[in-house]
Amino acid sequence: MKKYTYTEKKDTRSGFGAGLHEAGKKNENVVALCADLVGSLKMDAFIKDFPERFTQVGIAEANMIGIAAGMTIGGKIPFTGTFANFSTGRVYDQIRQSVAYSNKNVKICASHAGLTLGEDGATHQILEDIGLMKMLPGMVVINPCDYNQTKAATLAIAEYEGPVYLRFGRPVIPVFTDPDQKFEIGKAWMVNEGTDVTIIATGHMVWKAIEAGEKLAELGIDAEIINIHTIKPLDDEAILKSVKKTGCVVTCEEHNKFGGLGESVARLLTTELPTPQEFVATNDTFGESGTPDQLMAKYGLDAVNIVEAVQKVIGRKK
C-alpha cells in the first residue's frame, strides 16, 4: 500500500474559495454569485479583489440560478455558491431549463454536501444531489476529495465550456493530494495499485478508502484504490481496466446508494463486465444532527465499513 501522509487538515470549501479567487485573477470573465452564504462558501477573497464581479442575490436561489444563466449571455462565466441542498433540489427546474437544456456555461458550486455538514441535521444534509445532477443531459458532476483537488477542480471548470456541478463539503479533512496537480475533468486518479479488489471512492470517502487500504494490507488484501472525482462523465476505461484485473469492486460515497457514484459504476459494469460490487453509501435514508464523525460512523461511511465491504465482495468472486 502506497503511503499517504498529511501535514494539515483543511476543508474542501476553502479549496473552492482559493480556486475561485485564482480563477478570477486569471480570467476577468469569471463572476460569482451567492445566496447569503458568502462566509460558508469561502468567497471572501474573490469578493475583496473583484467586488464588481460579485453579485449577492440574497436568499433567493431560484433567482440566482436564472441570473447566472442570463449572465453567460455576453460572455461571463458565473460560479453560483450555496449549500448543496439549495444548489440542487431547491432549484432543480431552474437548472434543468435555464442552465442544462439551454446549455449555459454556469458552474453550480455546492458546499456542505452530505452528512458531514453535521449538526444542522437532515434539512441541510443532501444525500441525493449527485443523482439529481447526473441525470441532467450534458451536466458534468465533480466531487473532489481534498483541499488541493477542489482548488484544482475549480480552476479546471473555469476553463471548461458548459454546465458543471461541483460538490464539496464543510469539515476539515487531511490534505493529501499534490498542490500542483493538473485536474483533468473525467479522468480517474490512481491512488494505489493493487490486485485483489478495486475500491472506487469520491469526495470525503477517498481518505477513508486510503485508511481502509492500510487496514486491508495488514489483513493481506492488496486493494487497488481509484479516485473518481468526476462522476459524470465517468472514466469508463480506468474502471474497466482495474476491474478486469481485480474481479470485484467496492464503491464509496457520502451519498445515497440510489443514484450515486455506485450506481454509475454498476451501470457500466453490468453492460460491459458484470462484476460483484458492494456499496458503501447511505441506504435510502435522511441524515440527522450530530458531529460529522458520529454521523459517518452511524450511517456506515467509515474505513471499517469499507474493509467489511471488501471482505464481503471478495467472498463473492467466482
Q: Note the residues at the interface with another protein (CB under 8 A).
A: 31, 52-53, 55, 57-58, 60, 62-76, 78, 93-94, 96-98, 101-104
Taking the complex as a whole, how short is the minimal distance between the CB of residue 72 and another protein, in angstroms?
8
Taking the complex as a whole, how short is the minimal distance between the CB of residue 104 and another protein, in angstroms?
7
Handedness of CA 230, 235, 238, 242 (dihedral sign): positive
Residue 97 is classified by DSSP as I
Residues 6+ apart with CB under 8 A from 107: 77, 78, 79, 80, 157, 158, 163, 164, 166
Nearer to another protein by C-beta: 52 or 218?
A: 52
Taking the complex as a whole, how short is the minimal distance between the CB of residue 241 and another protein, in angstroms?
35
Q: How many residues does the chain have?
A: 318
Which residue is associated with the grid cell 469499507?
A: 306
**Alpha-carbon separation of residue 116 from 9, 128, 146, 293 (angstroms):** 15, 14, 14, 8
Strand order of the β-sheet with 230-232 is 54-56, 30-34, 77-83, 107-111, 164-167, 140-142, 230-232
Nearer to another protein by C-beta: 90 or 241?
A: 90
Nearer to another protein by C-beta: 138 or 233?
A: 138
Helix (H) / strand (E) element for 297: namely helix 292-298
Taking the complex as a whole, how short is the minimal distance between the CB of residue 29 and another protein, in angstroms?
9
CA dihedral 241→245→250→253, nearest 10 degrees, is -30
Rg of the Cα atoms in the chain: 19
Nearer to another protein by C-beta: 27 or 294?
A: 27
Nearer to another protein by C-beta: 27 or 63?
A: 63
Distance CA 68, CA 79 (A): 8
Taking the complex as a whole, how short is the minimal distance between the CB of residue 251 and another protein, in angstroms?
32
Residue in 203, 200, 204 with CA at minimum distance from that of residue 213? 200
Nearer to another protein by C-beta: 70 or 186?
A: 70
Taking the complex as a whole, how short is the minimal distance between the CB of residue 164 and another protein, in angstroms?
17
Taking the complex as a whole, how short is the minimal distance between the CB of residue 26 and another protein, in angstroms?
17
Nearer to another protein by C-beta: 102 or 311?
A: 102
